[in-house]
Amino acid sequence: MSKKKLAGIIVGCVTVVIVIAVTAAPTPTTKYTLNISVNPAQSGSVSPSGGKYDSGVQVTLTASPASGYTFDQWSGNASGTSATIIITMDFDKSITAYFEKELPKWVDQVQIAWTVGWPENWNADAANDGLRIWVELQDSNRTMIEYTGMSMPVQIELYSTESVTYPLEKSRLIYSGSGILTDWNHDCFCTGAIGVKDIPWQDISSPLPNEDQDNGILYVTVTLPNGKDYSADYSPIQIRNK
C-alpha cells in the first residue's frame, strides 16, 4: 500500500469518527425560567416556588394559603381560580398567586348594630369625665355576636337635640370622631367593659343650643371586614355632666 493511499484511509476514518462524534453529541435543550411571586407578601406559598425547566415541560403549580387567608387567583402568565394548575414551560414565565384575607364566619350573621353611651368616671376623682360609648353587633335574633381579634372602624357622631320629645331630631353636630371595635367582650354593654370610645366632656362642642342642652343623639357606624356598614343610634344621651 502506498503512503498516499494509507493517508487517505486514515483521513477517511478520522472523518467518520468525527462525524459520528458530532452526530452523537446531545443537542443542548432550551431552558426557560419560571418566576413565582405571592401577593400580598406572606399570604401564602406556591409549590414549586420557581426554577429553570426544559422547554415543553409541564409543571403543576399548587397554591397554599397561609393561616387566615384563602387562595384567590393566578395572574401574569397563568390564570384561573383553581389552587392547582398545570402550565407548560414554552417561554420564560412570571406568575403571581393572589391570596385574600379570609372573612370571619360571623360576618354574614350581623344584622343589627346597637350602641349606647353613658357618663363615666375614668380617673381618680368623683366627677364623671365624659361619655363612654359601647357598640354591640347582633344577629337577626338579636343575639350578641361573639368575635375576637378584630379591628373594625367605628364612626361616632353626637348631635344636640332641640327637644327630648320623640321622635328626637338632631340639631347641631357637637362631636365627630372614630373608634375601633376589637373584641366582643370588651366592646359590648357588659358591666365593667371598657367600651369602644371615651369622649371627654371638653371634646363635645359648646355652647349647646337651648334649655335641653344636656341631651343629644348618638350615632355610630361600624364597618365590618366585608366592607358593610351598620348604623345604630341612641337617644336621648346625656352629653353634659350633671
Count residues binding Ca ion (CB under 5 A). 5
Using CB under 5 A as the binding rule, whether residue 202 contacts Ca ion is answered as: no
Whole-number Å distance between alpha carbons of 221 and 154: 5
Binding segment for Ca ion among 9-17, 70-78, 120-128, 225-233 (CB under 5 A)? 120-128
User: CB-based contacts of 199: which residues, under 8 Å, 6+ apart?
Assistant: 117, 130, 131, 132, 133, 156, 158, 175, 177
* Options 23, 42, 67, 123; binder of Ca ion; rule CB under 5 A: 123
Using CB under 5 A as the binding rule, whether residue 127 contacts Ca ion is answered as: yes
Buried b (16+ CB within 10 A) or exposed e, 87-119: bebeeebebbbbbeeeebebbeebebbbbbbeb
Binding segment for Ca ion among 7-15, 26-34, 89-97, 113-121 (CB under 5 A)? 113-121
Q: Shortest approach of Ca ion to residue 124 CB, angstroms?
A: 7
Binding segment for Ca ion among 119-127, 133-141, 163-171, 178-186 (CB under 5 A)? 119-127
Using CB under 5 A as the binding rule, whether residue 121 contacts Ca ion is answered as: yes
Whole-number Å distance between alpha carbons of 34 and 54: 11
Instruction: Calculate the CA dihedral of residues 141, 146, 147, 153 and round it to 10 degrees.
Output: 60
Using CB under 5 A as the binding rule, whether residue 2 contacts Ca ion is answered as: no
Q: State the binding string over 128-147 for Ca ion (x if CB under 5 A, else -).
A: -x------------------
DSSP-based three-state secondary structure for 222: strand
**Looking at beta carbons only, is 115 or 128 nearer to Ca ion?**
128
**Site residues (CB under 5 A) for Ca ion?**
121, 123, 125, 127, 129
